[in-house]
């Protein structure tokens, strides 16, 4: 559970498409989130998690050189519990069963299929913030 308001929330967007990051950032700003960090792949995303300790990560699944699956597996294996428990929402165009099952097995906190609507992203963030 995250017990702060949107204006205090730090969100990391991990996606290899700059256009997608811009769209998601715009949606987050519309709901009042001001502190938004970006990373272009899973490896850069992990670096940002360690550096900035975001409250929430929105992560694409298909990226190179490190994809969202490897990002999530690596994050869930870090020794620092607070980092290991960082909520992660997959934002992906992939609704295939194996990807959905992987997400469940590795404790993903949300799964939204692109393109994501403002209402969907807000509802998922609200659910994580309420625990």
Q: Kindly report, residue by residue over 52-67, the tens digit of the pLDDT.
A: 999 999 999 999 999 9
Q: How confident is the model at residue 22 (pLDDT cuts 50, 70, 90)?
A: very high
Q: At what angle do helices 68-76 and 97-105 cross, to 10 degrees?
A: 10
The whole-model pTM stands at: 0.94
Cross-strand bridge partners of residue 35: 10
Rounded to whole angstroms, the Cα distance separating 90 from 109 reads 8
Domains of the chain: 6-99+111-119 (3.40.50.2300)
Query: Which residues, at least 6 apart from 98, have a Cβ–Cβ distance to it below 8 Å?
Result: none
| pLDDT tens, residue by residue, 71-103 | 999 999 999 999 999 999 999 887 788 888 888
Burial bucket for residue 28 (CB in 10 Å: 0-12, 13-18, 19+): buried
């Amino acid at each position: 559970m995250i017990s702060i308001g949107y204006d205090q929330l730090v969100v990391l967007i991990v996606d290899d498409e700059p256009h997608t990051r811009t769209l998601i950032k715009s949606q987050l700003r519309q709901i009042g989130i001001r502190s938004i960090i970006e990373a272009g792949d899973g490896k850069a995303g992990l670096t940002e998690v360690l550096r900035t300790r975001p409250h929430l990560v929105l992560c694409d699944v298909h990226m190179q050189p490190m994809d969202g699956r490897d990002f999530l597996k690596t994050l869930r294996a870090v020794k620092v519990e607070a980092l290991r428990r960082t909520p992660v929402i997959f934002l992906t165009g992939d609704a295939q069963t194996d990807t959905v099952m992987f997400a469940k097995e590795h404790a993903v906190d949300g799964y939204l299929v692109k393109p994501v609507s403002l209402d969907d992203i807000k509802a998922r963030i609200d659910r994580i913030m309420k625990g």
